[in-house]
């Protein structure tokens, strides 16, 4: 391998301009919706390609609207209570609802309004008005009438109206077929057992799902290695079969980047490089009227690029009504800094806490697909704006319905896998409730409660002076009270080590050895505070522990590092060690509690969560996880 | 045939009670969501049946986050601008973004930050921090972590997270299979050429589309004739194949009604008869945990019944989040009277006119499927309430997005097929604009403008005194001004008669003959006013015209009656006669104009409509329809 940089200068065209010019170019090149004829029964949700007219009337005959008899109204004129009219059998016909009214008849009399005589004639005490109780031809739809205009979404009841109007097939706009070409030498199909260096190709699955939601038809091609000719052949083939092509990865200006060149040779490139983040290296290419979009490899970049640049094109081709994006005003819990040179899309989590809607920016790494999954909304920071200060009110585009946010229990604080189980049980018990946890460590949880940003905070904070947990911290940080400390679980902390403990770690003292690579937790986490305390207690200089500055944010991620062999030891709870089959050297048992502000106490989901803490089902889940002890979970230990 | 009434007494249980008890009974009988295992790629929009955990970490190896070299951080300590460190080739490895970091390395240095020497070594002017530019194992997802809790809708990004976590399949809740059994001797499959008495079966197609939207899987069975044994066998078969059965039609207490008895024999009936309109004769039946719903035959009743009674059950089985129904406050343009004994569902059309949202009740006939298609919302009148007065503010459940209503041009007034073409052209030209016409006749249009309920009214009103059109009426009804009269078209009115004119109608005078059955337009329509005037002018007594009191609301429906043979003649415009291939005896040319209140003048869709009136495309459409003359369409004839 050689160190080479085939650097290409990317453009930095503003996103709105890029979108507009791209669409205009494609339309100019002849891009348009293509009609296809389908059965009416298959048309729900599809968009009409042209106006549809009724072929026949509905009803298509004069139908009785009642059970009774059909008569000629003239025969009944003069009938009253005192001067009834009697009709012989040949002057009336028995009809049921929906039956055709015989040609010579022009009124229906309900069965309740007549008296049947023994000789088969009927006696009437009321005259019939012409056309009474008859559904006349065309009452619902008249032949020749327009049932649906062009570019209209077909609804279930429109399907009924079309069939009633004798329309069996109609022209709708064809779903554009979008070819997706994954490229890259390291890319492999999804597997549960990848080798190091393999990169699981899941972008095409994400894009396919998005495209289907937008009314397009995805078609994923086999993975193409990073070779110019093969990529060119794949794009050529996709162009012959599809209306739109997505070339995934290889759109940055890195050394194995053939995308722009391939697209240029097969058609043209309007822009390579858009002033957006993530997604800057997007390639806006085309072959005649067909868009060929070069999409960066990182999933979050890819999602943003196809949403921003491809969705408007699909909307133009399918003529679906463009729904206004739902937005909310929310208050930023943290500052967000953005570059002046691009429009940035920041994923945020949101929570309704204490009467305010709070938005917290998520991990901005564009490789972190789970951050997109967890996002409740997108904060768009326009080009030319440096960001927002903490506390600013910002407009957020919603990724989840507003009502879900209103029913979401927000948990910010110390990590424990039991929080996920709690979230699962809460939502199982009541489909309207959700729980969203963010792992910031115990001190982060206390601060979030102080800043009124969370309904609950998991904390496990050791007071070095007396060996107690949590209470003294709460007292110190909430001198004015207003919070309750709720008992949750006792849990075992210890040193996690490679399975079989080959380095023969026996306790904290073993860690100050040059052949042991330690992985730590972040500052402010209860586990870090515990570790710092234990080192002090054992007279250990933390500088003598290799890797003490290497920080992870959860017990599981510490365990994952050890399991991968990139660290030999780390402090964490038993359940995490067990999850990864690691050796575990117990160090102490600590109290993990939940801190809940009074303002959240009476919310139905907090009360529901307390119920769950006390449930047998929750106890069972903890047993499965291992390393927990339960005394009286859900009880208020202290009210401050 | 015989006149028989096998009347069964129906219950009149309140709808909410019926819903609640039905669901409780089914759950008690064991109804529940059933898991099925599917590929992650197929899971978008499906609901997880249980919590899903990651199998592997993502990334599953330490991956370089940059193009550059991997090193051991310790080797670089001490490097500064003035004291560079040089690493020989064996102390570093070239890596690209995504490449695995070799086991002995714990930092990546970007290609931009190094200088390559001729001997293959690299010179560094900065120390590397341990773990810099490395995506550590589990940065995105840790093995063992819960990716999705139970009963969660799988999103596109969740698909990515699952695949990244090594999950290839997952358990989702199976889509309930809903068997639909259409019954009735007269029922036929959709056709463009039905015989009199045939009833086209389109309910199953409407229901199927609705069920698919709710996440269920419809399965329509062949049409079953009205025979007890055959219906019973069909329901039995459907129950063996489906989770839910809909038995369509035959649920009223009429004479050929076996539904309730069949369901009773195969399982049980909780209620037969619910206090709702439409939909009263619904049958809430079951076989163990499987709902068997008897649904009335009229399409609107059927739609309301399955939406009210079946949707909650499907929501319970599929655990999809129940979306809050979007509602708006609107002002009723007309009184709505409802019975005290039932909850009524009234379809309404809505329009944003002059700053208010106006709701107008539509045809309440439950056989009129087009009224459901045209409805913008549903007004629910609770049991025990007699209705609402005109002008009351009511809450309407939306059937169309609010933003569409805000962009809908409301046209109330005289009917002309050109209005549909106008609607088509308006929406084609700008996908955001819609047009909704209601046919109330010219005088109805004038009144709607006066009551500020419409943006535009088509009128063609003859002033008997001077033979002019429209102006004198507008002057009389808008003494304070505030409206503009816009020229639209000249059109030919005449007498429509059976093709070939077998009754040899030559003009108005021919109509006063006992062998000619006339069909009239409603009072207040311009065509009726014209006809009344012509009769007076010719000295004709309208009582001498057979059928003069038979009223239709549109030119096309008059034409449809004549084409069907149930009338011999009727007054109407040429385009309607031509549509039905009728004979046409021209009587006069009249001016059809558009009346537009000043308050609507500057709305973008009214301006767009005026553009269209002036367009060549519109002129072409009129040519196709026939019988129109154009002078300066879109010009303001008078401003009042």
> What are the pLDDT digits (tens) for B280-305?
999 999 999 999 999 998 899 999 99
Confidence grade of residue B455 (pLDDT, cut at 50, 70, 90): very high
Contacts by B259-268 with C-beta closer than 8 Å and gap 24+? B259/B183, B259/B231, B259/B283, B259/B294, B260/B8, B260/B285, B260/B294, B261/B228, B262/B228, B262/B231, B262/B232, B262/B235, B263/B235, B263/B292, B263/B294, B265/B232, B266/B232, B266/B235, B266/B236, B266/B239, B266/B292, B267/B292
A161: which 2 tokens? 């109206």
Taking the C-alpha atoms of residue A290 and residue A268, their distance in angstroms, rounded to an integer, is: 10
B-chain residue closest to A250, CA distance:
B97
Taking the C-alpha atoms of residue A312 and residue A305, their distance in angstroms, rounded to an integer, is: 11
pLDDT tens digits, one per residue of A290-326: 999 999 988 999 999 999 999 999 999 999 888 888 9
pLDDT tens digits, one per residue of B305-324: 999 999 999 999 999 888 88
Identify the pLDDT of residue B130: 84
B-chain residue closest to A254, CA distance:
B67
φ, ψ of residue A586 to 5 degrees: the values are -60, 140
- Which of A57, A117, A157 best tests the B interface by mutation, with the highest count of B CBs <10 A? A157
Q: Among partner residues B65, B114, B168, which is closest to A190 by beta-carbon distance?
A: B168
Confidence grade of residue B65 (pLDDT, cut at 50, 70, 90): confident
3-class state of residue A494 by DSSP: strand
Q: Which of residues 139-178 of A touch B (CB under 8 A)?
A: 139-147, 149-152, 155-161, 163-164, 166-168
Question: How many residues are recorded in chain B?
Answer: 640
Identify the pLDDT of residue A4: 42
Q: Among partner residues A156, A161, A206, which is closest to B370 by beta-carbon distance?
A: A161
Interchain pair A61, B564: CB under 8 A: yes
Identify the pLDDT of residue B251: 53
Q: Among partner residues B61, B116, B205, which is closest to A197 by beta-carbon distance?
A: B61
Mean pLDDT of A375-400: 95
Taking the C-alpha atoms of residue B207 and residue B178, their distance in angstroms, rounded to an integer, is: 10
3-class state of residue B428 by DSSP: helix
* Residue B561 touches chain A, beta carbons under 8 Å: yes
B-chain residue closest to A203, CA distance:
B160
Q: How many CB atoms lie within 10 A of CB B187?
A: 22
Q: Taking each helix axis as running N to C, give the angle between helix B616-625 and helix B417-429, from 0 to 180 degrees, rounded to the nearest 10.
A: 150
Interchain pair A140, B557: CB under 8 A: no
Distance of CA A393 to the CA centre of its chain: 24
pLDDT > 60? residue B252 = no
pLDDT tens digits, one per residue of A573-597: 999 999 999 999 999 999 999 999 9
Residue A155 to chain B, least CA–CA distance (Å): 7
Mean pLDDT of B234-238: 98
Interchain pair A163, B200: CB under 8 A: yes
pLDDT > 50? residue B7 = no
Mean pLDDT of B419-427: 96
Interchain pair A420, B145: CB under 8 A: yes
Interchain pair B160, A299: CB under 8 A: yes
Identify the pLDDT of residue A13: 96
* Residue B327 touches chain A, beta carbons under 8 Å: no
Interchain pair A161, B98: CB under 8 A: no
pLDDT tens digits, one per residue of A54-93: 999 999 999 998 889 999 998 999 999 999 999 999 999 9
pLDDT tens digits, one per residue of B203-225: 999 999 999 999 999 999 999 99
Mean pLDDT of A90-105: 90
Taking the C-alpha atoms of residue B101 and residue B276, their distance in angstroms, rounded to an integer, is: 69
- With pLDDT > 70 as the criterion, what percentage of chain A qualifies? 98
- With pLDDT > 90 as the criterion, what percentage of chain A qualifies? 84
Contact B289, B279 (CB under 8 A): no
- Which of B186, B202, B407 best tests the A interface by mutation, with the highest count of A CBs <10 A? B202
| ipTM of model over 0.85 | yes
* Residue B35 touches chain A, beta carbons under 8 Å: no
């Amino acid at each position: 391998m050689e160190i080479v940089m085939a650097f290409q200068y990317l453009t930095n065209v503003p996103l709105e301009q890029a979108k507009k010019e791209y669409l205009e170019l494609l339309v100019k090149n002849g891009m348009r919706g293509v009609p296809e004829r389908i059965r009416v029964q298959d048309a729900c949700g599809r968009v009409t390609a042209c106006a549809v007219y009724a072929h026949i009337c509905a009803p298509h005959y004069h139908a009785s609207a009642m059970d009774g008899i059909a008569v000629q109204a003239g025969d009944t004129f003069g009938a009253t209570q005192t001067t009834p009219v009697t009709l012989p059998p040949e002057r009336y016909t028995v009809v049921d609802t929906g039956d055709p009214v015989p040609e010579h008849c022009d009124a229906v009399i309900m069965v309740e309004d007549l008296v049947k005589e023994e000789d088969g004639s009927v006696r009437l005490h009321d005259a019939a008005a012409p056309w009474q109780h008859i559904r006349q031809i065309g009452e619902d739809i008249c032949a020749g009438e327009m049932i649906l205009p062009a570019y209209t979404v077909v609804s279930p009841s429109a399907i009924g109206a079309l069939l009633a109007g004798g329309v069996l097939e109609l022209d709708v706009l064809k779903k554009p077929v979008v070819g997706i070409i994954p490229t890259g030498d390291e890319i492999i199909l999804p597997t549960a057992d990848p080798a190091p260096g393999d990169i699981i190709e899941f972008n095409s699955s994400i894009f396919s799902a998005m495209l289907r939601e937008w009314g397009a038809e995805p078609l994923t091609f086999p993975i193409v290695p990073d070779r110019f000719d093969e990529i060119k052949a794949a794009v050529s083939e996709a162009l012959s079969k599809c209306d739109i092509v997505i070339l995934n990865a290889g759109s940055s200006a890195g050394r194995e980047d053939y995308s722009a060149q391939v697209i240029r040779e097969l058609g043209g490139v309007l822009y390579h490089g858009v002033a957006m983040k993530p997604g800057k290296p997007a390639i806006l290419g085309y072959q005649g009227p067909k868009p060929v979009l070069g999409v960066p490899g990182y999933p979050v970049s890819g999602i943003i690029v196809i949403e921003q640049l491809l969705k408007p094109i699909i909307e133009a081709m399918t003529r679906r009504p463009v729904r206004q994006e739902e937005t909310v005003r929310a208050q930023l819990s943290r500052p967000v800094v953005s570059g002046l040179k691009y429009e940035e899309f920041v994923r945020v989590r949101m929570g309704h806490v204490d009467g305010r809607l709070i938005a917290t920016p998520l991990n901005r790494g564009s490789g972190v697909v789970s951050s997109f999954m967890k996002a409740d909304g997108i904060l768009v920071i326009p080009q030319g704006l440096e960001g927002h200060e903490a506390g600013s009110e910002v407009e957020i585009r919603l990724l989840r319905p507003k009502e879900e946010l209103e029913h979401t229990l927000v948990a910010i604080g110390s990590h424990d896998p039991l929080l996920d189980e709690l979230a699962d049980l809460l939502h199982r018990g009541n489909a309207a409730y959700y729980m969203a946890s963010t792992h910031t460590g115990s001190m982060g949880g206390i601060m979030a409660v102080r800043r009124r940003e969370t309904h609950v905070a998991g904390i496990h904070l050791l007071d070095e002076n007396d060996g107690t947990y949590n209470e003294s911290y709460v007292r110190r940080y909430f001198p004015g009270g207003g919070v309750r400390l709720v008992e949750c679980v006792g849990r075992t902390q210890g040193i996690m080590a490679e399975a079989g403990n080959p380095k023969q770690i026996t306790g904290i003292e073993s860690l100050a050895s040059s052949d042991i690579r330690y992985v730590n937790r972040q500052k402010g986490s209860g586990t870090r505070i515990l570790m710092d305390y234990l080192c002090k207690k054992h007279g250990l200089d933390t500088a003598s522990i290799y890797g003490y500055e290497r920080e992870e944010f959860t017990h599981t991620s510490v365990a994952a590092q050890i399991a991968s062999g990139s660290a030999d030891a780390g402090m964490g709870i038993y359940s995490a060690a067990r999850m990864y089959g690691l050796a575990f050297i117990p160090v102490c048992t600590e109290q993990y509690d939940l801190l809940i502000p009074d303002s959240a106490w009476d919310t139905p989901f907090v009360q529901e969560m307390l119920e769950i803490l006390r449930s047998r089902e929750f106890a069972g889940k903890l047993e499965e996880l291992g390393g927990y002890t339960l005394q009286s979970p859900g009880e208020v230990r202290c009210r401050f």
